[in-house]
Amino acid sequence: MGLLDGKVGIVTGAASGIGAATAQVLAREGAKLVLTDLDDAAGSALADAIGAAYVHHDVTDEDLWPSVIAAAETRFGRLDIMVANAGIGIMGNVIDMSLRDWRRQMAINVDGVFLSVKYCIPAMRRSGNGGSIVMLSSVAGLRGSAGLAGYSATKGAVRLFAKSMALECAQAGDGIRVNSVHPGIIATPIWGKLPVGQNRPIDPHAAAEASVPLGKAGEAEEVANGILFLASDLSSHMTGSELVIDGGLTAGRIVRLGA
């Protein structure tokens, strides 16, 4: 018996990192999944490996959202889980950031989550057995970060969007729960994609050793396990909550004195 037997879900940004690990963990627990991404080679290879469907989709493309939802309903008959995971990070001081980059980051990290939610809720209501929406925020949505102000703005928006949607669904009495996940420093390819101008790319392992109380970066599967909990009925009394998976990063600082 899997924790998600009989459930159908969509994972956006599923070709890499946390999304890929989430797809693997949810499928292992019995969920039937539709994976979406821009990276068709990695996305469809993963889908083939775990018995999922793959759809090429940019989360900001509203016109194609109905076909993503339809892929879940026509192939698997229902929709119970939405993991709004696709996201990017653009690093740099605000005075050096173009409005175009600010808007691109907002479009993927915030508009994409808005569209995920707008289009999944009617399908979950049609399925008639509640549902679970999990949005990927970040520790950057809980506190500020110099050099990541734009990213923090997107993740702070996601945090309160999740709480508001939790209330909107509770008010509707539809049984749909909505929660946000707040990873800290997780070793995924996103770190290699952050444009850092003249600076060296950030090594998540070195950054985590210097700042995370547990002394190491998290693995994508450690976040996926939290998403599994929120997606499953194990978290049946949780909605509007924040699940922080950060090795203690937001708890405070510890000082390691040399031997």
58 versus 101: smaller Cβ distance to ligand NAD: 58
Tokens of 217: 């970066």
Backbone angles phi, psi at 60, to 5 degrees: -85, -5
13 versus 150: smaller Cβ distance to ligand NAD: 13
Work out which of 26, 34, 117, 185 binds ligand NAD, going by CB under 6 A.
Answer: 185
Residue 117 is a binding residue for ligand NAD (CB under 6 A)? no
87 versus 92: smaller Cβ distance to ligand NAD: 87
Work out which of 122, 189, 201, 215 binds ligand NAD, going by CB under 6 A.
Answer: 189
Q: Is the Cα dihedral 120, 240, 37, 23 positive or negative?
A: negative
Work out which of 116, 188, 232, 239 binds ligand NAD, going by CB under 6 A.
Answer: 188
Residue 33 is a binding residue for ligand NAD (CB under 6 A)? no
String of DSSP letters for 7-72:
-EEEEETTTSHHHHHHHHHHHHTT-EEEEEES-HHHHHHHHHHHT-EEEE--TT-GGGHHHHHHHH
Work out which of 35, 123, 136, 166 binds ligand NAD, going by CB under 6 A.
Answer: 136
Residue 207 is a binding residue for ligand NAD (CB under 6 A)? no
Work out which of 97, 190, 202, 207 binds ligand NAD, going by CB under 6 A.
Answer: 190
Coil, strand, or helix at residue 3?
Answer: coil
User: Beta-carbon neighbour count of residue 159 at 10 Å?
Assistant: 18
Q: Where does residue 248 fall: left (phi above 0), alpha (psi -120 to 50 degrees), or beta otherwise?
A: left
170 versus 190: smaller Cβ distance to ligand NAD: 190
CA atoms of 24 and 160, how far apart (whole Å): 28
CA atoms of 144 and 163, how far apart (whole Å): 19
**54 is known as an active-site residue:** no
Active-site positions? 151
Q: Which residues bind ligand NAD (CB under 6 A)?
A: 12-13, 15-19, 37-39, 58-60, 85-89, 108, 112, 136, 138, 183, 185-186, 188-190, 193
